[in-house]
Chain A
Amino acid sequence: MSAATTTVSADARPLGRALTANRLPKWAPAAVAAGSIALGCGIGAVGGLASHLQWGLISAILFVAIGYALSARVEGRRQAKDRLATSVVWVAFILAVVPLVALTFYTIQQGADVVNGYFLSHSMKGVLASGPGGGIYHALIGTLEQVGLATATAAPVGLLTAVYLVEYGRGRLAKTVTFFVDVMTGVPSIVAGLFILSLWNLALGFNYSGFSGSLALAILMMPVVVRSTEEMLKLVPNELREASYALGVPKWKTILRIVLPTAIGGITTGVMLSVARITGETAPVMMLVFGADYINSNPFDGPQQSLPMYIWQQYSVVNNDYGYARAWGAALVLIAFVMGLNLIARGIARWRSPKGGH
């Protein structure tokens, strides 16, 4: 805080001037944006730049530069810096959101025609992969069960580990765990798959099943849950804990009733992010669940299909328009499924989390 005070006071100008200082009108940023986009496109068109990426980049740079120059002239250096930051944040947002939105729309555009009741409710049994027809039902069931089992394994372990690290963790064990959780986030998914394959399927002799896939997914999921939960728990103000202790509430109850509920929004986000991450994992699932073209709703026995694997197969093995269509359709369903889960969990977390917060 002291840093804040000194910086601000050093930069502060005489009060009188600040009150009467010139401000740019409210519409100025919008005008600058419009102007720089026009200019950027102009330069692009005149310069004969083929890629629209460059047009956008030039516009963005112009927007930031013009905004800063204008503000520096009219409003002074501090305000100009503030405007610079604002424009940079906006540009960052737009630069990032454009490709991301493009990707989403591309998927929707490609997949929307394919997804219908039949597609969702039928398997590929008896369908020629290189021909039309068939659906993703078997893959959807498989992914649901695999991800569900993985979450049921990984989320409690991850949550408890995070609680241990933040609330109890002192000494060498906690440091070791923290460190290796970080390393674990870097385990390539394919290595996790290989590990489970060697241990579970080869050494212990279990057959291919949805469950062996979910074990690999759980390995990938755990560190992400721990990491994000840990961050969220750390952010719970100590005053809350101290107030609870002062009332004579034991530590474990404090954690369960005060700390976790306060951080529940962030924890849910973390768990959802990790679910999102593992739902799209292709490599480990591919070597463990084997894949099937018929419905197998028992994740503990026999080959199962999974959505990412289905997408991969339709793209790389089938490799014709029917395959591509099914691949995009499945991708759309996969994204929609995760997003739906996300929204529901967010809604619950928001509705149930203590109001008035910190």
Chain B
Amino acid sequence: MTSSPPAAPRGRVGRQRDSRVGDKIFMNLARGSGILLLVVMAAIAGFLAWRSGLALSKNDGHFLTTFEWAPDAPKPVFGIAVLAFGTIVSAIIAMAIAVPVAIGIALFISHYAPRKIAQPFAYLVDLLAAVPSIVYGLWGALFLVPHMDGLTSWLNQYLGWTYIFDQTKTGTVPRNLFTVGILLAIMILPIITAVSREVFRQVPRMHEEAALALGATRWEMIRTAVLPFGRPGIISASMLGLGRALGETIAVAVVLSSNSVLSLHILDPGGGTFAQNIALKFAEAGNNGRNALMASGLVLFVITLLVNGAARLIVARRKEYSGAAA
């Protein structure tokens, strides 16, 4: 005891300096990565903005309200009205279908399914996240579209009065925004499910057991303990899915019968999305055409920015709802 007091502080000091250096290095490394990410983003945004500027200065139409896309014509005319509309509508349809269903599947895997089944199903869902979008595209065109025929005419028949489901051009193939929305929903299901499932799994057992001990049914337990805990996770999972839905290129290009008509009749062929338009027009685009496509890419960027900003606000209110809070 008499000899240790002088030794211990020295040792502690040494260790502390050690840890401080280690902490500093590690923190700067972490911060550096974050900054690197910002730099990449800034570079992309700056690059897009620069190219957009070049294109917009030559535009004879109004970029936001023009329907046509003819940036390589002698008098360039191009606008994003149709693309923005199609992108948002198809993403809304996809999210409206995918988010509830994905939560359902995630709950099924984490809370409903017997353990032996749950694990293989979890793998199955991960597997489906691995299906390349080109395969979804082929499947959508060859399998889904023909099977949508009946549903489309049924919706038209019974829900036609809603205007949205009114099919004005009968006899057309259902290669429309509605089908695209469904295909996108199927495509983003796995990623939303996988992330929400992990989040649901992390719900503190104590919360769940407390709820059950108070006599809650399983559903009440989920509503009061699991879902509130998982909400920020669900939202970020949905954002990941939304990112994919907004930017999906090849599958939409294969399935959608696009044109430059803006119509709320989502069962009629037509419309377009940003990414699809870039993919379809890029190969044959001239200089101005390429810049114009960049400009549309920038808009997609801004849309994601806005949507994510909104989602952030929702999550921020729940930020401190950590497992340690209870």
Interface positions of A (Cβ within 8 A of B): 1, 3-5, 7-9, 11-12, 18, 49-54, 57, 78-79, 81-82, 84-86, 88-93, 95-97, 99-104, 106-107, 156-161, 163-165, 167-169, 173-174, 176-192, 194-195, 198-199, 219, 222-224, 226-228, 230-232, 234-239, 242, 248, 250-253, 255-256, 265-266, 269-270, 272-273, 276-277, 279-283, 307-308, 311-312, 315, 327, 331, 334-335, 338-339, 342-343, 346, 358
| 21 A-B contacts (beta carbon < 8 Å) | A1-B225, A4-B207, A51-B154, A92-B104, A92-B108, A96-B101, A103-B131, A156-B33, A161-B33, A164-B30, A164-B34, A173-B34, A190-B282, A222-B37, A231-B237, A235-B233, A237-B323, A266-B202, A269-B194, A283-B249, A308-B134
Q: For the complex, is B210 an interface residue (Cβ under 8 Å from A)?
A: yes
Q: Which residue on A lies nearest to B131, using beta carbons?
A: A335
Query: Complex: how many Å from CA A91 to CA B150?
Result: 21
Q: Is the CB of A277 within 8 A of B105?
A: no
Query: Complex: how many Å from CA A281 to CA B132?
Result: 7
Q: Is the CB of B247 within 8 A of A188?
A: yes
Q: Which residue on B lies nearest to A276, using beta carbons?
A: B130
Cβ-neighbour of A188 out of B219, B297, B323 (below 8 A)? B297
A92 and B105 contact, Cβ closer than 8 Å, known pairs A161-B34, A195-B44:
yes
Residues of A within 8 A of B34 (CB): 160-161, 164-165, 169, 173-174, 177
Residues of A within 8 A of B244 (CB): 185, 277
Residues of A within 8 A of B294 (CB): 191, 194
Q: Which residue on B lies nearest to A84, using beta carbons?
A: B219
CB distance from B35 to the nearest CB of A (A): 8
Residues of B within 8 A of A53 (CB): 147-148, 150-151
Q: Is the CB of A8 within 8 A of B132?
A: no
Residues of A within 8 A of B274 (CB): 188
- List 14 additional contacts besides A92-B108, A277-B129; criterion CB under 8 Å: A4-B220, A18-B215, A51-B154, A78-B217, A81-B217, A89-B107, A106-B143, A182-B311, A184-B41, A185-B240, A188-B278, A238-B324, A276-B130, A335-B131
Q: Is the CB of A186 within 8 A of B322?
A: no
**What number of A-B contacts does a CB cutoff of 8 Å give?**
380
Q: Is the CB of B207 within 8 A of A1?
A: yes
CB distance from B298 to the nearest CB of A (A): 9
Q: Is the CB of A250 within 8 A of B30?
A: no
Q: For the complex, is B159 an interface residue (Cβ under 8 Å from A)?
A: no
How many residues on B have C-beta within 8 angstroms of the other chain's C-beta atoms?
Answer: 123
Q: For the complex, is B163 an interface residue (Cβ under 8 Å from A)?
A: no
Residues of B within 8 A of A104 (CB): 127-128, 131
CB distance from A309 to the nearest CB of B (A): 9
Cβ-neighbour of A192 out of B19, B44, B134, B218 (below 8 A)? B44
Q: Is the CB of A273 within 8 A of B191?
A: yes
Q: Is the CB of A311 within 8 A of B308?
A: no
**Which of B19, B103, B136, B228: most chain A Cβ within 10 A?**
B19
Cβ-neighbour of A269 out of B151, B198, B242, B303 (below 8 A)? B198
